[in-house]
Amino acid sequence: MLLGGMDKGRDGKSVLGLSSLFALIGGLCCLTPIVMILLGLATVSAANSWGNILYGEYRWYFRAAAIACFIAALVIYFRKQGVCTLDEARRQRNRIVNLSVLALILGVGFYIFWTYTVLHYWGIAVGLPWAVYDESWAVPAALAVFGAGALIYWIQRRRARPRNTGRLRDVRSEVAQHR
């Protein structure tokens, strides 16, 4: 069933997958030092230095890579769904825009929660000195972004409902006249 141009069964898992991909790639700058410690490839101080370099100097490269992978994944997904020409893209414009915007919003929410909550506390747990950073804003921000995504989904769902435009009354009155 199409909801706001989105097929719930087919597109629901895709939105979550695309959003998770976006968050995972964007958060690699913080995940790398944790993995290095867990695998025994670096000491805490070396991993902290590595993390400061990755997050401090290269975080925008990770975010750009996340956006590039997100766009590529969207293109691949829609091509697999049969949207291979501009004419087909125009016909399915609402579905493409709805899925893309919803996946991007959820991706930002997952990125905030993953990077600034999960990885932050995971890094503290393995001994990285990240406790000095105040990330208390991350959970409310992620919840706000998830709330915005839920609101957009709800609005699209409401728009897709069939409207009673009076046509049902006209059909009933015609049936009553024929009796």
Q: Where are the domains of the chain?
A: 2-178
**Residue 169's pLDDT is what?**
57
pLDDT band for 12, please (50, 70, 90 cuts): confident
Which has the closest alpha carbon to 133: 18, 25, 56?
56
Mean pLDDT of the chain: 86
Q: Do 114 and 24 touch, CB atoms closer than 8 A?
A: yes
Using CA atoms in the order 117, 121, 124, 129, what is the torsion angle rounded to 10 degrees? 20
Phi, psi values for residue 51, rounded to 5°: -65, -40
Mean pLDDT of 98-117: 94
Percent of the chain with pLDDT over 70: 84
Band (pLDDT 50/70/90 cuts) for residue 10 is low
H-helix or E-strand containing 105?
helix 93-113
Helices 8-26, 28-38: crossing angle, 10 deg rounding: 70
pLDDT-based confidence at 72, cuts 50/70/90? very high
